[in-house]
């Protein structure tokens, strides 16, 4: 909320990008992607439904009005590409589930 000391950054993570943009604008915050030379965040995420997955200024931080907050986003149904998959060694064998006496003995 704006006050004499600055603007408190809300938590944008988990919010649809178009709602986050409106919420930020109401608090005099500029929401952008990490490519400051490219199209606006709104242009990058329209049409479609995109979700904010991360922000570079922590929620609750007090910033000056008009300051920029960079967000990371993903399209509805998409996955974050910066999350590393944890390899399972060895990978589970699907045949175990199809064989009698496998993991499904309790059925």
How, if at all, do strands 50-55 and 7-8 pair?
Answer: unpaired
Average pLDDT over residues 15-27: 95
Instruction: Name the band, by pLDDT with cuts 50, 70 and 90, for residue 89.
Output: low
Average pLDDT over residues 73-97: 64
Instruction: Name the band, by pLDDT with cuts 50, 70 and 90, for residue 85.
Output: low
Cα separation, 74 vs 52, whole angstroms? 7
Kindly report the CATH number that applies to the domain delimited by 7-75: 3.30.10.20
Predicted structure pTM score = 0.66
Cβ neighbours of 54 (radius 10 Å): 13
Which residues in 70-100 are b (16+ Cβ under 10 Å) and which e? bbbbbeeeeeeeeeeeeeeeeeeeeeeeeee
Instruction: Name the band, by pLDDT with cuts 50, 70 and 90, for residue 107.
Output: very low
Domains of the chain, residue spans:
7-75
């Amino acid at each position: 909320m704006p006050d004499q000391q600055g603007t408190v950054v809300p938590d944008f993570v988990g919010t649809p990008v178009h709602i986050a943009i409106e919420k930020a604008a109401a608090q005099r915050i500029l929401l952008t992607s990490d490519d400051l030379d490219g199209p606006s965040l709104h242009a990058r995420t329209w049409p479609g439904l995109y979700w904010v997955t991360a922000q570079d200024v922590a929620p609750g931080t007090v910033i000056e009005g008009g300051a920029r907050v960079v967000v990371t986003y993903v399209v509805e149904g998409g996955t974050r590409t910066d999350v590393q998959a944890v390899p399972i060694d060895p990978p589970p064998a699907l045949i175990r589930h199809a064989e009698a006496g496998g993991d499904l003995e309790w059925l």
